[in-house]
């Protein structure tokens, strides 16, 4: 088989030279075409190319960070919490999530949180923030108002609690409300604006809750 070695190197060399020739020819034609452009057209091409490259880079970073949140998320339980030494999964997840929140515009928030691990139903609108998307489940047609905050974590003293939040179908979470870990909100329930639903609270279907802490102010019907 020794006599085949030079032939193999020749084939590889031929492929590399052909690729180099094609690349060189393509580069020459591209530069020649650019040279024929007016200054305004060249500037427009340059700006468009930079915007395209930047957008691709940011989108890639967003997707990778969403995968990072999902990888380190989904953990429930009580953990010892030290400010100087956070649990590894918590530290990693929060770091990725901060980048996601910076890069993701409001229009993409539902899609982005879904990639992060949130279970979000059809026609749901997310105008607020899911601080732990991997621990949140939201049903069809539910509306989460502007600046509402849904938390899957809570720090009490030196303990860190991570629990799921479940919100049913066709619910309304008012603007600037806060939903704490372990909360379950059944179908059709309403949480008024600027309310605080404390941890592990159970809100029955069709009821209206409001206040700090939130309490049932009007029992309705589905």
Could you give the CA distance from residue 131 to residue 153 in angstroms, rounded to a whole number?
A: 8
Instruction: Looking at the structure, give the CATH architecture of the domain made up of residues 51-219.
Output: 3 Solenoid (2.160)
How far from each other are the two terminal CA atoms of the chain, in whole angstroms?
80
Strand partners, 79: 160
Question: Which tokens belong to 93?
Answer: 């997840």
The answer to whether the beta carbons of residues 115 and 95 sit under 8 Å apart is no
110-161: per-residue pLDDT in tens?
A: 888 888 888 999 999 998 889 888 899 999 999 999 989 999 888 887 788 8
The answer to whether the beta carbons of residues 93 and 100 sit under 8 Å apart is no
Global confidence as pTM: 0.67
* 51-54: long-range contacts, CB 8 A cutoff, minimum separation 24: none
The answer to whether the beta carbons of residues 106 and 63 sit under 8 Å apart is no
Cβ atoms < 10 Å from Cβ of 86 = 14
Mean pLDDT of the 165-188 span: 94
The answer to whether the beta carbons of residues 217 and 191 sit under 8 Å apart is no
The DSSP 8-state label assigned to residue 2 in this structure reads: T
101-114: per-residue pLDDT in tens?
A: 777 777 778 888 88
What percent of the chain is modeled with pLDDT above 70?
A: 78
Higher pLDDT, 221 or 50: 50
Which strand (E) or helix (H) includes residue 184?
strand 184-185
- The helix/strand/coil state of 193 is coil
52-109: per-residue pLDDT in tens?
A: 777 776 666 667 776 766 666 667 777 776 644 555 556 667 777 777 777 777 777 8
């Amino acid at each position: 088989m020794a006599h085949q070695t030079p032939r193999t190197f020749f084939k590889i060399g031929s492929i590399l030279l052909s690729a180099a020739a094609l690349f060189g020819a393509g580069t020459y034609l591209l530069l020649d075409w650019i040279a024929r452009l007016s200054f305004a057209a060249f500037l427009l091409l340059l700006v468009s190319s930079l915007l395209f490259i930047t957008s691709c880079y940011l989108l890639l970073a967003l997707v990778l960070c969403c995968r990072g949140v999902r990888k380190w998320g989904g953990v429930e339980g009580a953990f010892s919490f030290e400010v100087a030494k956070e649990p590894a999964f918590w530290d990693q997840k929060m770091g990725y999530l901060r980048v996601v929140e910076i890069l993701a515009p409001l229009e993409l928030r539902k899609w982005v949180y879904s990639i992060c691990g949130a279970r979000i139903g059809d026609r749901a609108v997310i105008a607020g923030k899911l601080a732990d998307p991997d621990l949140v489940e939201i049903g069809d047609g539910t509306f989460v108002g502007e600046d509402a905050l849904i938390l899957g974590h809570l720090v009490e003293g030196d303990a860190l609690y991570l629990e799921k939040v479940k919100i049913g179908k066709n619910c309304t979470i008012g603007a600037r409300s806060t939903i704490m870990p372990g909360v379950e909100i059944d179908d059709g329930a309403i949480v008024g604006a600027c309310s605080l639903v404390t941890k592990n609270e159970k809100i029955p279907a069709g009821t209206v809750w409001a206040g700090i802490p939130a309490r049932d102010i009007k029992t309705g019907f589905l």
